[in-house]
Copies of this chain bind each other. A is one copy, B any other.
Amino acid sequence: MTATLHDVARAAGVSIKTVSNVINNYPHVRVTTRERVEAAIHELQYRPNQAARSLRSGRADMIGLIVPDLRNPYFAELADDVMRAARARGFSVLIEQFDADRESELAALRGARRRGLDGVLYSVLSLGEDDAELLDEVGMPMVLLGERIFHSAHDHVTMRNTEAAQAATAHLLRGGRSRIVALGSHPGEVVGSAGLRLRGYEAAIEAAGLTVDPALVVPVDRWHRIDGAEAMRAVLDAGLAFDGVVAFNDSIALGAMRVMLERGVTIPDDVALIGFDDLDETRYSLPALTTIDPGRSEIARVAVDLLVDRIVGDEGDAPREILTEFRLVERESTSR
């Protein structure tokens, strides 16, 4: 069907190795020979067989990106950033989604080996401290994105969650807000994004000389828009008094925004609102959402670099942990 090195070699009257040498730009090939081979390649429309190359080299030039859900804009934008960074390093990206349950998350991890990938970027969701040894089973280079839930031997790239949440909360306090809802806590969780962001929120409140009112710390299980909407509905129904909201991601913030507007709460006049993630969409909501830019493209670039370093060789190094810089993006939802 498709041409192989043998076919090209026969057509050009050389050995297959010479054809291979031409393709790989091996220097010691006579110009006339090179031209003859290139003509034959063009003539036969020869394309190297990737499977054979992978078998020989042990490399697929392909990494996996394991994320919960591409419908979630955060992960879609992350995937975009990762794909661009990977392309710059000569790698393709195979995306694997997992559903909310633990089992499918594990299945996605295990699938990496079977797929013949060179390494994976893994955005942890439901696996926890106790699953560290499962991570080691993956058996290939891996870089964790998001929180470092495991004390494992893997590289890790994330934002400064606590500092960012503190900055977000301080921003509202500076705007004169004093009863600020923290929307998105995960009760009992300490080392995940929710725990770290809550710590930043509390630190900012206390730094302002106020005390944290537990009634203002509102749990939201999954951080999707509908969950933010429901949580805000419950808050308003309960008659809680508040003048600011720190939502732990933009989806929650946008869901809450929709419910507040529906109920006649004006933003930012009655309530100032800030989110996390700087989704593309936050520029277009009405009011446009103030948010924390976590440096997503930077996270993607660094993570791909760490992973590729592991793949091409620098094994044995101690696991590295990279914290990227965040940026507070002020928009309409917090400025009177």
Chain A residues engaging chain B, CB cutoff 8 angstroms: 2, 45, 47-52, 54-55, 58, 60, 62, 69-71, 73, 76-77, 79-80, 83-84, 92-97, 113-116, 139, 225-226, 229, 254-255, 258, 261-262, 280-281, 284-286
Contacts and interface: CB of A to CB of B under 8 A. Distances in A.
Nearest to A99: B84
A93 B95 contact: yes
Given A92-B94, A92-B115, A93-B94, A225 B284 contact: yes
Contact of A73 (B52, B73, B96, B255): B73
30 contacts: A47-B113, A47-B114, A47-B139, A48-B114, A49-B55, A49-B116, A51-B52, A51-B55, A51-B58, A51-B60, A51-B116, A54-B54, A62-B94, A62-B115, A70-B76, A70-B80, A71-B76, A71-B280, A73-B73, A76-B76, A83-B95, A83-B97, A84-B97, A92-B94, A92-B96, A225-B284, A226-B284, A229-B284, A255-B284, A258-B286
A230 B321 CA distance: 43
Contacts of A54: 50-51, 54, 116
Nearest to A69: B80
A226 B261 CA distance: 23
Contact of A284 (B49, B116, B254): B254
B50 A116 contact: yes
Contacts of A225: 280-281, 284
A97 B81 CA distance: 11
A94 B94 contact: yes
A2 B116 CA distance: 12
Nearest to A225: B284
A5 to B, nearest CB: 13
Given A47-B114, A71-B76, 16 more contacts: A45-B139, A48-B114, A50-B60, A51-B54, A51-B55, A51-B58, A70-B79, A70-B80, A76-B76, A79-B95, A84-B97, A93-B94, A225-B281, A229-B284, A258-B286, A281-B281
A324 B202 CA distance: 52
A96 B47 CA distance: 19
Contacts of A262: 286
Contacts of A45: 139
Contacts of A114: 47-48, 50
A292 to B, nearest CB: 19
